[in-house]
Amino acid sequence: MCVLGTVVNRCEEVPTEVESWVDVPVLGVVPEVESPLTDEDTTAAYEEIVETLQLRNATDRTPPAYDDELLPTGIDTLDRRLGGGLAPGSVVALTAEPASQSEQLLYEATAPRGTLYLTTERSAANVRRAIETTSVETGNPTIRHVEGTTVLEEASEIIGKLPDGATLVVDLTDVLERHDRRAYVSFLNDLKDRMVETDGVAVLHCLDGPGRPENRTATIHAVDAVFDLRTTESGVETAVDHYLSVPKFRPESTFTETIELEFDGVAAMTLETKQDVD
């Protein structure tokens, strides 16, 4: 038996307890009425559910496939939602505020496979120390520091030596974005070509906030996906909540989940998936 998701009956919206279910997509909600078989609202609700099932390939009664050929990102719950990870050749932008835990996600990205970590601001030694002392699972990446007026050329030369199936992390991309737009766009195109050629995955770390580079639009336009990390104060004993959303994902336009991340400071982070509700 294949389970494609759940339908919530006698509700106007998804209940809180259902939102907390991990990896259980909500196909739709059906309102409570006296005559559900003839009521216009329930009919419309069921029609929307049918459309959702069609988008999820329900016609052949198979759930979204977990593709062994996809490359894991290192974020377990996100990988499960993506059916295994990202397609080889993908280029992703990770956007976040400076005062966030986005670096932890970069460190986790080094765990699944060999990784080249290009750092444009912090020294290679500082990045190495941060990776060695973090609480999340990591790999043993090759770390290179690039800087100066020739940073695009240096980065391109190093990326040109990437082995097959590797992960590339660029931290921060902001430094590259501040160069001439034509040169930077050329770099992005060459980067995509190289990822496709090597069946690798690239993660571009982009900071939001004051001083955002003008060429950020070129980055967002070029990448295959955008992972956006947001940090908010919950108001409960000064706790801080972290949410990862995917505003852009070329392979699947119906991606709607927001993933809540918990960094406990001791063990690897735990994650929950919530269905977005308007």
- Is 273's pLDDT higher than 60? no
Task: In whole angstroms, give the CA distance from residue 111 to residue 103.
Answer: 14
Domains of the chain: 6-60 (no CATH), 76-274 (3.40.50.300)
pLDDT band of 270, cuts 50, 70, 90: very low
Q: What average pLDDT does range 41-48 have in this prediction? A: 76
For the chain, the C-alpha Rg in angstroms (whole number) is 21
Q: What average pLDDT does range 102-117 have in this prediction? A: 96
Q: Write down the pLDDT at residue 218.
A: 98
Higher-pLDDT residue of 260 and 133 is 133
pTM over 0.85: no
pLDDT band of 18, cuts 50, 70, 90: low
pLDDT band of 25, cuts 50, 70, 90: low
- Is 94's pLDDT higher than 90? yes
Q: Which helix (H) or strand (E) holds 95?
A: strand 91-96
Q: What average pLDDT does range 195-221 have in this prediction? A: 96
- Is 56's pLDDT higher than 80? no
- Is 60's pLDDT higher than 50? no
pLDDT band of 276, cuts 50, 70, 90: very low
* Other Cβ atoms closer than 10 A to 42: 17
Task: In whole angstroms, give the CA distance from residue 224 to residue 236.
Answer: 36
Instruction: Read off the tokens for 158.
Output: 């190093």
| Summary mean pLDDT of the chain | 83
CA dihedral 99, 250, 73, 133 (to 10 degrees): -10
